[in-house]
Amino acid sequence: MRGAYGMDKLSAARAVIDRIDAEMARLFEHRMTAAAEIAAWKQANGRPVRDSAREREVLDRNSARISDPVLRTHYTAFLEGLMAESRLYQQSLLHPELLWVRAASGAYPIYLCSGALREAGDVLELDRTVFIVTDKGVPASYADALAAQCRRAVVHTVPQGEGSKAPAVLETLLEAMLRAGMTRSDCVAAVGGGVVGDLAGLAASLYMRGIDFYNVPTTLLSMVDSSVGGKTAVNLGGVKNAVGTFWQPKAVLIDPDVLKTLSARHVSNGLAEALKMAVTHDPALFARFENSAGYGPVEDLIAACLRMKRAVVEADERERGLRRVLNFGHTLGHGLEAAAEGRLLHGECVALGMLPMCTPGVRARIIPVLERYGLPVRANFDVDTAMRAISHDKKSSDGLIEIVTVPELGRFAFQRVTLSELRERLLMCIEEQR
């Protein structure tokens, strides 16, 4: 009897919720239609989508309508989520060209457009103090172009190169942010390559327990890969990326025009990460690299890579599963990077590190592409030094190291191998290509 009575109550409560959900869906459409009208007005009047003061007022006014204190907390969170969705909707209406990444921790846009740097203020919230991190190798005019659009900008320039991914440099950065009087509502923007992005992103994630972060990549490598996905890190004790966080950017702004000042070697360095995506995911993209006329417009290449990266990050933000595929070429690559002691760039090591992970047929197709784009297919380095770095790699557990292998173009597999098997692969690669 009691069971039946309980079921009646359950059905009745579910019916109430169904009716309310139907009503809420109708109201949601109404609310978003009004939001779209507000967005159009804001665009016509040159006002930003976000109006923090108005949002606070709406939150306070509506939360006060809920008398139960526990429910009020839940309602406030619900309303905050609703307002965040409304902002995203307004931005996607105003900028249909934006590529949205819907990661588990939140959504953010990638603005990929020639001239984007000059229009940063349209997409990023710069009406606050913006701590811009750049390095000595990046033309100062890029950071200056962003700074000119901020209410207040502090430009912090670190030395160029992997050496800046160090705790001491991070500390200097955080101290400079404190000195600049940065508050929780201010933000950090990285203007540079992967090193600057990793360092600045980590600083943003730590400062006052985390503030907004914008990534403005200026190298091809960071455009096609590292600027998206929220990985931040510094190296520690000789171990690459030993200390870091997942801290998604609020937005990524990519202006391919800045590649005009990038050296041919650094363009190739970025192409290695694009090839990584093509080899594991997209045979048609790989075929573009095989084309003797070249791979086509760089903007299309960046967009193709970012679509793949987005799909991976959306499926697995924290690298618990699928995202491990992005380590293709990196296990040996990190070892090679350590052994090369600065002689080889990151992408060059990744290019080399991919080869032993492929079947001979795939390798035979990749080698001519690497050669065409000036990427190494052989290198002289101390194998013991490389293996020592690999055995410290964070992917190591129970004496086994996970690698990503490619049995055929566009397919990949995860394999766990011993260090001696890995050494064989490293040696096999060198000997085969000598």
The residues annotated with a catalytic role in the active site are: 209, 231, 273, 309, 319, 323, 327, 330, 334, 346
Alpha-carbon span 368 to 176, nearest angstrom: 47
**Which residue, 243, 239, 189, is CA-closest to 218?**
189
**Which residue, 234, 194, 198, is CA-closest to 217?**
194
Contact 409, 365 (CB under 8 A): yes
Structural tokens at position 337: 């990077």
**Least CB distance from residue 319 to ligand GLY, whole Å?**
6
**Least CB distance from residue 155 to ligand GLY, whole Å?**
26
Alpha-carbon span 349 to 352, nearest angstrom: 5
Nearer to ligand GLY, 127 or 319 (CB): 319
- Residue number of the CB atom closest to ligand GLY: 326
**Least CB distance from residue 244 to ligand GLY, whole Å?**
11
Nearer to ligand GLY, 35 or 103 (CB): 103
Alpha-carbon span 362 to 337, nearest angstrom: 23
Kindly list the residues in this chain that would bind ligand GLY in the complex (CB under 6 A): 225-226, 229, 231, 319, 323, 326
Nearer to ligand GLY, 215 or 226 (CB): 226
Contact 401, 416 (CB under 8 A): yes
Nearer to ligand GLY, 87 or 197 (CB): 197
**Least CB distance from residue 13 to ligand GLY, whole Å?**
44
Nearer to ligand GLY, 226 or 268 (CB): 226
3-state secondary structure labels for all residues of 365-432? HHHHHHHHCCCCCCCCCCHHHHHHHHHCCCCEECCEEEEEEECCCCCCEEEEEEHHHHHHHHHHHHHH
**Least CB distance from residue 223 to ligand GLY, whole Å?**
12
